[in-house]
Amino acid sequence: MHRKRKPGLLAPGKMDKDRLIALAFLWPSLVGVLMFFVLPFGVVCYYALIDNPVQHNFVFLANFGKLLSNSAFQTAAKNTATFSGAAVPLAVALSLLLAVLLECRIPLKSQFRTFFLSPMMVPVASVVLIWQVIFHYNGALNDFLLVFGADKIDWLKSDYSQLVVIVLFLWKNLGYNMILFMAGLSNIPRDLLEVADIECAKPWFKFFHIKLRFLSPTILFVTILSLINSFKVFREVYLLTGDYPYETLYMLQHFMNNTFRSLDYQKLSAAALLMAVVMVLIIGLLFIIEGRFGKDVEG
Amino acid sequence: MKKKRYFSRTVMFLLAAYFALMFLMPTVLTITNSFMSQSELAANYGQVFSNFSGAKTYIAERVNLKFIPDMVSFSQYFTVLFKSPDYLLKFWNSVILVVPIVLGQVAVAALAAYSFFRYQGRMRQFIFFFYVVLMLMPYQVMLVPNYLVADWVGILDSRWAIIFPGMFAPFSVFLLTKFMRRIPPALIEAAKLDGAGEWRIFTRVCLPQCRSALYSIAILVFIDYWNMVEQPLILLPDASRQPLSVYLSSINAGEVGVAFAVATIYMIPTLLLFLHGEEYLVEGITHSGSVKG
């Protein structure tokens, strides 16, 4: 491939040798990525546009229309969207709170960090038993609430179930996000905060006008990360309630699993492509928002 | 003024302590409950898990969350380790899925990251951006392509259907590239002047410099895959080869006592990694902290 290059930077022959060396190191990864992700994803795009794998007639958007009118898909998409819409902002706000807590001078700081981080290393399958004991109809939480005279709630089989899953999601993910925020907080230039101190700025002013603006790249990253992780909450739901959970817990991954069972390639491909497009749009939008409001400290 | 500050620090501490309690409770309960005997568990949790095998046992009126067993008993562990080989088999399934993925992903990523580190050009920017986009895709999107390839190559329903996509996952490449950027260029230049070839620079200069990075990435990848549920369900439907992370949920109520012990055993590898490498883990997370490559 012919490329323009700035004259005088590197001799032409050397450039090509560099590129060969780079390729020599990159090829194992590149071949694997192409073979297991990129090429099959191309086929997914193709499958999403044809009527069936035998006749290969192009139907363009018909598969998407069918998918969007599928009631199972509608439920799954709606549930996933409400869950992510509630869980992601909560995850960002609460992990920032934890990071700020640990920034203050309190005793046992490093122990607290360890404790907050510990849920991330616990496999979901290992704590599912305890979640069951707590959230079961006859479980510990209802028992506790009974003391205050509250009625029994079937946490996993009622409209409260999304709430339970949000709690489980936060439990597992706050620690990881907190570490990211702690790193972001420690990168804020000290002298700026000292100037603010000299000027007798109020703590909330310091937080909202200085820290938060410098944290905006971190907030962006934590938001994206939490969004991706929010799709993984299927693990908790599946291990707690199985293939067919209460209606508000029926996530997109359940829909995919059940569609895999019937091997409807068109539906699967259309769903995967649609999700990829939506993800790219959301992430692009987040980048634009951050670019407009954030202070670019990375240069 | 001083009194006020002291007060706010106490509030902060109490808040942190409250969170710490919430974060630790489920894990600690699982571990301590694994030391309870079957009858004690039946008494405590009979209301939740009906159909305990020994139905004659006493069941308390209400659920009883207990941190400390009445009597420490190793009987559950004895059952798991010596009487029911099924669990150990599933544990072994997890090991032979996750260990190749971790080693493979780190090895492949080290090579690729070195390439991204050494070579700067428009093509490099494009490919790296592509890796980042791939990294940001949720499982729901990537499982369909993975399934198609596995079907064509004929590895569907074998361990390779999970191991291969795991080995080439772009996460480690992204993270390692960011780590390598901290290697002082003078070090590379010096090695070059001494006549070292690229492979020699890679193995003798670059890899030793990233030793802690490699460790922290290995921990992150291990934790992620030790916890996998989605991939085995779709790519490896054969129940006898599924990892313990999936199988644990299908343990029926009659074996609840054993389940706590199995759950604890399943935690041990990640727990040990965490306790031993927390600093590395934190450093690894810290460096994942920006999408900009």
Task: Give me the residue from A32, A124, A130 closest to B108, CB to CB.
Answer: A32
Paired with A58 in beta bridges are A50
Residue to substitute from A23, A36, A174, interface B, most B β-carbons within 10 A:
A36
Average pLDDT, chain B: 85
- Largest Cα separation within chain A, whole Å, is 82
What is the structure's pLDDT at B27? 92
DSSP designation for B210: T
**Contact with chain B for residue A26, Cβ under 8 A:** yes
Q: Nearest residue on chain B to A239, judged by CA atoms?
A: B249
Cβ pair A184:B149 closer than 8 A: no
**What's the rounded Cα separation, in Å, for the pair B92 and B115?**
35
**Contact with chain A for residue B263, Cβ under 8 A:** yes
Contacts of A297 (CB under 8 A, 6+ apart): A187, A214, A217
**What's the rounded Cα separation, in Å, for the pair B161 and B142?**
13
Q: Which residue has the higher pLDDT, B191 or B44?
A: B191
What is the structure's pLDDT at B59? 59
What is the structure's pLDDT at B108? 96
At residue B202 the predicted structure's pLDDT band, cuts being 50, 70 and 90, is: very high
HEC-encoded secondary structure of B54-112 = CCCCCCCCCCCCCCCCCCCCCHHHHHHHHHCHHHHHHHHHHHHHHHHHHHHHHHHHHHH
Paired with A50 in beta bridges are A58
Q: Which residue has the higher pLDDT, B55 or B193?
A: B193
At residue B28 the predicted structure's pLDDT band, cuts being 50, 70 and 90, is: very high
What is the structure's pLDDT at A52? 77
Provide the b/e sequence for B48-85 (b: ≥16 CB within 10 Å).
Answer: bbeebeeeeeeeeeebebbeebeeebeebbebbeeeee
> For residue range A160-214, what is the model confidence (pLDDT) as tens digits?
899 999 999 999 999 999 999 999 888 888 888 888 888 877 777 778 878 888 8
Residues of B (232-261) whose Cβ lies below 8 Å from A: 233-234, 244-246, 248-249, 256, 259-260
**What's the rounded Cα separation, in Å, for the pair A163 and A124?**
17
Q: Nearest residue on chain B to A258, judged by CA atoms?
A: B234
At residue B58 the predicted structure's pLDDT band, cuts being 50, 70 and 90, is: low
Backbone φ and ψ for A50, nearest 5 degrees, come out as -110, 165
What is the structure's pLDDT at B81? 83
**What's the rounded Cα separation, in Å, for the pair B223 and B215?**
12
What is the structure's pLDDT at A5? 45
**Number of continuous H segments (helices) and E segments (strands) in chain A:** 15, 0
Angle at A41 between CA A39 and CA A42, to 5 degrees: 65
**Contact with chain A for residue B99, Cβ under 8 A:** no
What is the structure's pLDDT at A2? 46
**What's the rounded Cα separation, in Å, for the pair A132 and A42?**
42
Query: By the 8 A CB rule, do B131 and B170 touch?
Result: yes
Q: What's the ipTM? A: 0.88
What is the structure's pLDDT at B53? 46
Q: Which residue has the higher pLDDT, B52 or A254?
A: A254
**Contact with chain B for residue A120, Cβ under 8 A:** yes
Alpha-carbon distance B152 to nearest alpha carbon in chain A (angstroms): 10
Instruction: Give the pair of three-digit tokens for residue A271.
Output: 């769903």
* Residue A37 CB neighbour total at 10 angstroms: 23
Query: Is the pLDDT reported for residue A73 higher than 90?
Result: yes
Instruction: Give the pair of three-digit tokens for residue A42.
Output: 């191309």
Query: Is the pLDDT reported for residue B247 higher than 90?
Result: no
Contacts of B271 (CB under 8 A, 6+ apart): A121, A122
Q: Nearest residue on chain A to B105, judged by CA atoms?
A: A29
What is the structure's pLDDT at B7? 83
State the span(s) of chain B assigned CATH 1.10.3720.10.
Answer: 84-287
Q: Nearest residue on chain B to A115, judged by CA atoms?
A: B20
> For residue range A85-116, what is the model confidence (pLDDT) as tens digits?
999 999 999 999 999 999 887 888 889 999 99
Percent of chain B with pLDDT over 70: 90
Chain A residues with CB under 8 Å of B142 CB are 37, 41
> For residue range A136-164, what is the model confidence (pLDDT) as tens digits?
888 888 888 888 877 888 888 888 899 99
Task: Give me the residue from A36, A41, A253 closest to B140, CB to CB.
Answer: A253
What is the structure's pLDDT at B57? 52
Query: Is the pLDDT reported for residue B95 higher than 60?
Result: yes
β strands within B160-275, DSSP E: none
Cβ pair A32:B168 closer than 8 A: yes
What is the structure's pLDDT at B62? 67
Nearest to B288 by CA among B114, B145, B181, B172: B172
Query: Is the pLDDT reported for residue B257 higher than 80?
Result: no
Cβ pair A224:B291 closer than 8 A: yes
Query: By the 8 A CB rule, do B45 and B63 touch?
Result: yes
- Judging by beta carbons within 10 Å of its beta carbon (0-12, 13-18, 19+), is residue B247 exposed, middle or buried? buried
Nearest to A268 by CA among B137, B147, B138: B147
What is the structure's pLDDT at A8? 39
What is the structure's pLDDT at B106? 95
Chain B residues with CB under 8 Å of A115 CB are 19-20, 23-24
What is the structure's pLDDT at B173? 93
Query: Is the pLDDT reported for residue A216 higher than 60?
Result: yes
Angle at B147 between CA B145 and CA B150, to 5 degrees: 110
- Judging by beta carbons within 10 Å of its beta carbon (0-12, 13-18, 19+), is residue B141 exposed, middle or buried? buried
Task: Give me the residue from B12, B139, B289 closest to A104, CB to CB.
Answer: B12
**Contact with chain A for residue B62, Cβ under 8 A:** yes
User: Does the CA dihedral B137-B138-B143-B144 come out positive or negative?
Assistant: negative
What is the structure's pLDDT at A27? 92
> For residue range A220-273, what is the model confidence (pLDDT) as tens digits?
889 998 999 998 898 889 888 888 888 889 999 999 988 888 888 888 999 999
DSSP designation for B253: G
Query: Is the pLDDT reported for residue B264 higher than 50?
Result: yes
Q: Is the backbone of residue A8 left (phi > 0), alpha (psi -120 to 50) or beta?
A: left
Provide the b/e sequence for A75-88 (b: ≥16 CB within 10 Å).
Answer: bbbebbeebbebbb
Chain A residues with CB under 8 Å of B170 CB are 29, 33
**Contact with chain A for residue B282, Cβ under 8 A:** yes
What is the structure's pLDDT at A29? 94
DSSP designation for A241: H
Which secondary-structure segment (H or E) carries B213? helix B211-226
At residue A6 the predicted structure's pLDDT band, cuts being 50, 70 and 90, is: very low
**What's the rounded Cα separation, in Å, for the pair A189 and B103?**
38
Query: By the 8 A CB rule, do A167 and A90 touch?
Result: no
Cβ pair A101:B15 closer than 8 A: yes
Residue ranges and CATH numbers for the domains of chain A are 68-293 (1.10.3720.10)
Q: How many CA atoms lie within 13 A of B33 on its CB side?
A: 26
**What's the rounded Cα separation, in Å, for the pair A290 and A278?**
18
* Residue B188 CB neighbour total at 10 angstroms: 18
Instruction: Return the SS3 of A232.
Output: helix
CATH superfamily membership of B84-287: MetI-like (1.10.3720.10)
Average pLDDT in the A121-134 region?
A: 88
Torsion angle of C-alpha atoms B60, B63, B67, B73, degrees rounded to 10: 40
Paired with A105 in beta bridges are none
What is the structure's pLDDT at B61? 61
Q: Which residue has the higher pLDDT, A287 or B70?
A: A287
> For residue range A271-285, what is the model confidence (pLDDT) as tens digits?
999 999 999 999 899
What is the structure's pLDDT at B253? 55
Average pLDDT in the B141-153 region?
A: 91
* Residue B184 CB neighbour total at 10 angstroms: 9
Alpha-carbon distance B177 to nearest alpha carbon in chain A (angstroms): 12
Query: Is the pLDDT reported for residue B39 higher than 80?
Result: no
